[in-house]
Amino acid sequence: MGRQSPGCLVGPLLALFLQAASAGDLSGSQVLEEDALPENTSWDAEEGQGNESLEHAFFSVDYQHVQVPFEITLWIMLASLAKIGFHLYNKLPSVVPESCLLVFVGLIMGGIIYGLNDKSPPVMDSDIFFLYLLPPIVLDAGYFMPSRPFFENIGTILLYAVVGTIWNVFGIGFSLYGICQVKSFQLQDVSLLHNLLFGSLIAAVDPVAVLAVFEEIHVNEKLHILVFGESLLNDAVTVVLYKLFRSFCEMPAIKTMDVLAGVGKFFVVGIGGILVGLAFGMISAFTTRFTKTIRVIEPLFVFLYSYLSYLTAEMFHLSGIVAIIACAMGMKRYVEANISLKSHTTIKYFMKMWSSVSDTLIFIFLGVSTIGENHEWNWPYIFFTVIFCLIWRALGVLVLTFFVNRFHVNTVTGKDQFIIAYGGLRGAICFSLVFLLPDFHRKKLFIAATTVVILFTVFVQGMTIRPLVDLLDVKKKRESAPTVGEQIHIRFLDHLLAGIEDISGHWGQYYWKDKLEYFNSKYLQKFLLREYDQPKSSIVLLYEKLERKHAIELAEAGQLGHTPSPLSLLNSHRSVTTDGKPEDILNPDVLENIQEILARNLFRIRRTVPAYNRHTLPGETEPAEQAKEILILRHRSLRMELSENDTVGSSKEKDDSCSAQEDSSPKPKLCRSLTVRNAERTREPKHNRSKSVCVISALQPGGAAWANKKEAEKELTPDI
Amino acid sequence: MGSRASTLLLSHSQITRLYSRFTSLDKGENGTLSREDFQRIPELAINPLGDRIINAFFSEGEDQVNFRGFMRTLAHFRPIEDNEKSKDQNGPEPLNSRSNKLHFAFRLYDLDKDDKISRDELLQVLRMMVGVNISDEQLGSIADRTIQEADQDGDSAISFAEFVKVLEKVDVEQKMSIRFLH
């Protein structure tokens, strides 16, 4: 660790100096151009002289030629090196979230550039942000969004996104106007409309910042999806309100018709965005139907169509974010069925890569743009802005949750509410919007206030949210540590409850889901899928791989139905029957050992861990690994049971054919047809295994199978 | 159906709700659910106790469960309301009482129905609930410890009374209640 830390600093420092040099060139480029002319003429003049001009010809620097791509690449390089640097030093990301560190690097960069040039550093152009940096992040979020929890909680999410944002906007706008009335603050000239305009851009919760911070704290799936979904969908509201108030600022008089038009505009923006997104999604799915012979460019279609949907929506002043999310979620299913596995992996990796780069660049630019002369520091205004943002968000969450809890059955607990309220981080979207404001005399004040709010939320709220969450958890801990038995039984009950909840289904979702599935299977699939047979997902492929492996094992062992490895349960059972286990009192440190083992190894309940993770692919996250493990275990135990029954001696031949079948749900159910036939013997088998369709049903006569096993083993033991 | 439902203490809206869920699961549309219908629920496939939970719905030797059986099993998970606690003690205990909830859980452990959780049965459940990193000896010692903590009559198995005693500090009513059935 000691050796690594200087190394981790060298990388960013090197990049910093490269940057400073290039920035020096940037500002001095004009000077260079002027110098170039005399150089050129002098070169022409010297041409005749011979030797000196030859030296010039061998080594010349032409920076302008490559300037733009060179600098872009250097910025991206800086961002990536900074990321490596942070992760090399392990302790840091747990205390300070990555976004803070990146902003900090940006601040340093901005400071260096300012110091070198005495001029303001390049401000992040709003166009660059909205057209190039934001789409990859939102695409990544939309593509990997776990759709089941999203749609289950869609009502709550929409409520928070739409009503919550409107509440925040008007609350902040009006209260800031109230502050402006106070004479001593010298803010009289900031009108109500200006304040509302400011409120509309500062109220929106930013998906980039939220995502960055929420990864560090491990919240349960539902909470994660609530805040995440809200931050994505409030874009529609923000866009409408921002444009509305801006146009109001320019209009001499405001009539009620205009206000109503604004409300109508909101629906147009939202629904229009969804329609544009879905249209492009369907076209994309249709296109991938024909790419069988040119697999190499398949990933390109996904990105092109998503980006097109974003740009088209922006062109019509609809919500680009909603469009790109709708596009990604709509096309995902069909595209994944049509494209090859390698294209699929490529898409996933590229998306993660681009969104990661974008994310890092945004935060660095945020830091860089902060330094400079763009600000007017009116401290009371800024101070009250921060206060009001916090207060109105907390109030909004409280009131809305009250309503949600009355109508919904999955209650949002107090702790959840705190996290939602406190996790309402503002980020780069606010920043870009404030730069897009029309130039009026108080613009710098708004810029300053926005900067402070963003820095406050990212740094203070980002860093303190984890300790506060832990603090809230600690209060609910028990006084004494649970005994081993309690731990096991509690986990048992948790799994049981999760299973029962899944069986009993969730509140009213299935009606629409079934309808959609019906529509899908009848019409959409025929149109959009290349092969109409059922697609295979990774779990199914894993199963098939296991099948092949087992078949090979069997072939090697030479005999069907002979398990090479001893069955652990059989062993333990034998040990109980053969020797009486001595009652030994286990030591306390053995107990601690056990507690530790259990804590590490007990399977987690499905609901507590979110499936979406910024930095890893879906197949590699912990819950997915756990799911695979559970399936492997069940597969193994099924095999053991089947092969045991073979060694029992009754003549049964088992015939396994694995046909994996995917139904309406994203994760496939595994079905194997298991037929048990009698071989040549005419003797009737002990129990008739009915033809059952699914894996688990082989374990079906739960108690009966075990009872039979015991009988079988008792027959075996005298033989041995 | 009306009078029977009242012994299960489900309200009309809850029954309607469960019925719509029942029909959406029943793909064969013959009024009963088979095991395959349950296995079609994807989350159950990756629940470590999935098989056992499904088995709990089916009575001994049966392959199909009708709506009444479905409701009956789910009724165990209804939350206990405060006004029920002071109800008439002479009537039959409602299905969602603490004792019945625990009995339901006990039956999931106790496969051979001898009213005891033997070391074997405990081992099976443990094996289902932990990952592959635990060796069999470790698992065995965990099982031994569990039995040792709970066992009071010295038979190296956990009887129902001992099971209840282990969980006396745990808020079973909350842990074994589905929130929606409120």
Q: Answer whether A667 sits within 8 Å of B132, measured CB to CB.
A: no
Of residues A378 and A605, which shows the higher confidence score? A378
Give the helix/strand (H/E) hosting A655.
strand A652-658
Look at residue B29 and tell me whether its pLDDT is greater than 70: yes
Chain B neighbors of A572, CB-CB under 8 A: 119-120, 123, 136, 140
Q: Which of A324-333, A523-532, B23-32, B136-145 has the highest average model confidence (pLDDT)? A: A324-333
- The alpha-carbon gap from A591 to the nearest alpha carbon of chain B, in Å, equals 8
pLDDT surpasses 80 at A419: yes
What pLDDT does A120 receive?
56
Query: What is the rounded average pLDDT for all residues in chain A?
Result: 70
Please name which of A321, A457, A392, A448 lies closest in space to residue A165, comparing C-alpha atoms.
A392
- Which residues of chain A are within 8 Å of residue B120 when distances are taken between CB atoms? 569, 572-573, 576
Q: How confident is the model at residue A122 (pLDDT cuts 50, 70, 90)?
A: low
**Contacting residues of A for B61, CB less than 8 Å apart:** 701
Per-residue model confidence as pLDDT tens digits over A447-502: 888 888 888 888 888 888 888 877 777 544 444 566 777 778 888 888 888 788 77
Query: What does the pLDDT look like over A60-74, one tens digit per residue?
Result: 888 888 888 888 888
Higher pLDDT, A516 or B32: B32
**Nearest CA to A568 among B44, B109, B130, B56?**
B130
Q: Does A640 touch chain B (CB under 8 A)?
A: no
Element (H, E) at A678: strand A671-678
Q: How far apart are the first and last CA of chain B?
A: 20
Quote the mean pLDDT of chain B: 79
Q: Tokens at residue A40, please?
A: 């050129």
Q: Is A283 at the interface with chain B, CB within 8 A?
A: no
Of residues A458 and A717, which shows the higher confidence score?
Answer: A458
Region A682-702: mean pLDDT is 34
When CB atoms are compared, the residue of B44, B124, B176 closest to A493 is: B176
Question: Longest Cα pair distance anywhere in chain A, in angstroms?
Answer: 111
Size of interface A-B (CB pairs under 8 A): 220
B108 vs A409: CB contact, 8 Å cut-off?
no
A16 versus A383: the higher-pLDDT residue is A383
Question: Does residue A324 register a pLDDT over 90?
Answer: yes
For chain A, positions 409-428, list CB contacts with chain B under 8 A: 409-411
- Would you say residue B133 has pLDDT above 60? yes
Q: To the nearest whole angstrom, how far is the Cα of A669 from the nearest Cα of chain B? A: 6
Task: Show residues of chain B in contact with A569, CB under 8 Å.
Answer: 120, 123-124, 127
d(CA B129, CA B146): 15
Q: Tell me the domains of chain B and their CATH numbers.
A: 7-75 (1.10.238.10), 95-176 (1.10.238.10)
Task: Answer whether B156 sits within 8 Å of A626, measured CB to CB.
Answer: no
pLDDT band at A410 (very low <50, low <70, confident <90, very high): low
Q: Cα A565 to the chain's mean position, in Å?
A: 41
Residue A305 has pLDDT above 60, yes or no: yes
A594 — contact with chain B (CB < 8 Å)? yes
Q: What angle is formed at CA A603 by the lines to CA A602 and CA A608, rounded to 5 degrees?
A: 120
Query: Which residue in the set A497, A637, A707 is minimally distant from B176, CB to CB?
Result: A497
Whether residues B40 and A669 touch (CB distance < 8 A) is answered with: yes
- pLDDT tier at A312, thresholds 50, 70, 90: very high
Q: Where are the alpha helices (DSSP H) in A218-340?
A: 221-250, 256-288, 298-315, 320-338
- Interchain pair A670, B45: CB under 8 A: yes
* Residue A458 burial by Cβ neighbours in a 10 Å radius (0-12, 13-18, 19+): buried
What Rg value do the Cα atoms of chain B yield, rounded? 18
Report residue A17's pLDDT band, with 50, 70 and 90 as the boundaries. Answer: very low
CA A199 – CA A247 distance, rounded (Å): 15
pLDDT per residue as tens digits for the range B74-124: 888 877 765 555 455 556 677 778 888 888 888 888 888 888 888 888 888
Burial classification of residue A537, based on how many CB atoms lie within 10 Å of its CB (0-12 exposed, 13-18 middle, 19 or more buried): middle
Percentage of chain A surpassing pLDDT 90?
7
Whether the per-residue pLDDT at A648 is higher than 60: the answer is no
List, as ranges, residues 507-566 from A with C-beta within 8 Å of B: 507-508, 510-511, 514
Contact B76, B100 (CB under 8 A): yes
DSSP B60: T
Confidence of residue A279 (pLDDT cuts 50, 70, 90): very high
Identity of the highest mean pLDDT range in A5-9, A302-306, A339-343 = A302-306
Inter-chain CB proximity A503 and B112 less than 8 Å: no
